[in-house]
Amino acid sequence: MSQAQLARSVDVSAKTIERYASRDTPPSLQRKDVQETISAISSQLGVREEWLTEAEGEMRAGLRTSDPDGGSHIGARLNNPLKEARLNADLSCQEAATFLQERGVDVSSKEFSDLEGGNADNMGRYGAAIYLLAKRAESLSQSGKKLTEGHLSTDVQVIPELQPGGLEEASHVSEGEGLLLSKTYIRQRHGIDPSKAVAMRVRGDGMVDALRPGQIVLAMQWDRGRELEDGAIYGLKGPHGFSIRRLRFGRQEERPIIWVWADNDEYADQRRSLTPEEFDQEYQVLAIALGTEQRL
């Protein structure tokens, strides 16, 4: 990585990087902006701050793969897909944020930096950002502009949406539209094959408070023969079309039953109890919910 590329990746001038590199003594860390710059450089290079500023201790920093709560930390490794996509697109963080805003992705410069670090709540924008930046990189490539190594449009997974009639594969994705997620994020956060991921749109309030109308639920396509999980939320195709409901197990008169359960108490009259045989006759399980993603 050149000094110019490093400067762009941490959103400072090339002159700043050159000044730091040519110093005989480490820069003072008393100023907050210097601290932040050193931290960003060490993170980008994958080295410890103490080694970078004072040449002491081990050079390499341990890679953080999860946060204290057990969530995946997408941007914690060197050369993560979003940083690579931004560098390929020849943009700073501020320029990338503006570029994405113009294409319908609501992200500020600060939020973009959070996405690069894997610290954002709405990681649905992570995949959209990679996709759009990769498209810009392709345009630059076609115009003869040299790209950095690692073209990363292949890290984006287009998530098809379950429709009332079943699963309909997305044939194309327009800029700023559709649900896009990083394959890396899907694997690390949910532990599934990205090609098995589908989206379920919440269209009613039957599952309030668990799910809100308008939310998009990330789910995994269901394999026939797999055992149902008590209390999990599923996408079902049943007598009244497609629905998102929780399945609960119970017993009536010493017989096992499956409740098709609407969480909203106002829909208590729509809660149904069926024997496993009746359930198999009336319902087809399409997907099991993994988590929610906001509409991009």
Tokens 């509409």: give the residue: 295
Cβ-based burial of 195 (10 A; exposed 0-12, middle 13-18, buried ≥19): exposed
Q: Between 3.90.470.20, 3.30.70.20, 3.40.50.300, 2.10.109.10, what CATH number should domain 193-293 receive?
A: 2.10.109.10
pLDDT at 164 over 60: yes
Is 263 or 89 the better-scoring residue by pLDDT? 263
Integer CA distances (angstroms), 213 to 104, 141, 164, 208, 235, in order: 21, 41, 16, 8, 15
Residue 193 to residue 130: CA distance in whole angstroms: 19
Cβ-based burial of 269 (10 A; exposed 0-12, middle 13-18, buried ≥19): exposed
Residue 41 to residue 53: CA distance in whole angstroms: 11
Centre a 10 Å sphere on the Cβ of residue 250 and count the other Cβ atoms it contains: 11
Residue 139 to residue 187: CA distance in whole angstroms: 29
Integer CA distances (angstroms), 249 to 94, 210, 252, 283, in order: 51, 18, 10, 15
Q: Domain-by-domain residue ranges, the chain?
A: 3-54, 64-191, 193-293
What digits encode the pLDDT tens for the residues 109-138?
888 887 777 665 555 567 677 777 877 877
Q: Structure pTM?
A: 0.52
Per DSSP, the three-state class of 124 is helix
Determine what percent of the chain is predicted with pLDDT higher than 70: 59
Structure tokens that stand for 267 in this block: 């829909």
Q: What's the one-letter identity of residue 291?
A: G
**Looking at residue 100, what is its pLDDT?**
87
What digits encode the pLDDT tens for the residues 176-212?
344 677 787 788 788 899 889 988 888 889 999 889 8
Mean predicted lDDT score pLDDT of the chain:
73
Q: What's the average model confidence in pLDDT over 240-249?
A: 94
Q: What's the average model confidence in pLDDT over 206-219?
A: 88
**Looking at residue 163, what is its pLDDT?**
72
Angle subtended at Cα 44 by Cα 38 and Cα 47, rounded to the nearest 5 degrees: 70
Reported as a pLDDT band with limits 50, 70 and 90, residue 149 is very low
Four-residue CA torsion sign, 160, 162, 167, 168: negative
Four-residue CA torsion sign, 283, 289, 295, 296: negative
